[in-house]
Structure 1
Amino acid sequence: MKPGRFALSLLSAIPLVLAACANKSDEIAASYVSPTIYEGMSCRQLAVEAQSVANRAAQAAAAQDKKANNDAVATGVGVVLFWPALFFIKGDGAQAAEVARLKGEMQAIETANTVKNCGIRFST
């Protein structure tokens, strides 16, 4: 293969490599979680559960963002310096699914909060 064609084929592969990168946590959509699982909770229990889920969601989001940053670094190194680094890109997986589930739980808790008129304040 001629050097020019190799460079062109490498450049054409960049969009595919970037698509394999892990998403930042704020780019992950919430999974649906039914608010009925929170119907039997009191407002106080909902507040405690909301805090617990928010703490877990913050940890999961931080881990997902770290994974996305690591993939971005591997992509940069792979494209510019050393193409075998592209094999270290992990993409989204169980961590992203956890972020989506926890976002869905928060939405379900917010819905239960509204239905029960608890007045719990959620920061965004």
Structure 2
Amino acid sequence: MNKNIVRIGLTLLLVSGCAKTPDRITATYVSPALFQEQSCTTLLAERNRIVTELDQLVAGQQKASATDAVATGIALVLFWPAALTLGVTKDNASALSSAKGHYDAISTAMQQKGCHITAA
């Protein structure tokens, strides 16, 4: 029974240290006021740039999350003490959170200015 408690505790500790999936990362607040002086054309260009950045960050974060989950699973099954040393992937959570916040702020600024917003 004592072994099971240790294993459960280690599993919870390891899972909490793994890279989050992109959908579980929330946007950092960025004030739309930062973008009020920009034209609709400039805002649209910046928004499109952020979309490209978001696509790359989401793909990287998804890969990191999947890799961490697989590595942790293998370590726990084959040799659980090795799982304590896992630091397999680069976690882009803070960059993804920031990019999401900028996207939201630009979109809000565009709405406030009455800019035409295309789907993105």
TM-score, scaled to structure 2: 0.88
What letter is aligned with 2:38?
Answer: M
Compute the displacement of 1:101 (Å). 0.2
**Aligned residue number for residue 29 of structure 1:** 26
The CA RMSD measured in Å over matched residues stands at: 1.9
Structure 2's unaligned 5+ residue stretches are: none
Compute the displacement of 1:36 (Å). 1.3
**Aligned residue number for residue 51 of structure 2:** 54
Q: Aligned partners of 1:107, 1:69: CA distance in 2, in Å?
A: 26
Tell me which stretches of 4 or more aligned residues in structure 1 moved more than 4 Å.
Answer: 90-93
Compute the displacement of 1:82 (Å). 2.2
Percent identical pairs in the alignment equals 34
What letter is aligned with 2:72?
Answer: T
Compute the displacement of 1:96 (Å). 0.7
Of 68, 74, 87, the match for 2:85: 87
Does the 8 A contact of 2:14 with 2:83 survive in 1?
no
Deviations 1:22-48 (CA, angstroms, capped at 9, x unpaired):
101111000011111211111111111
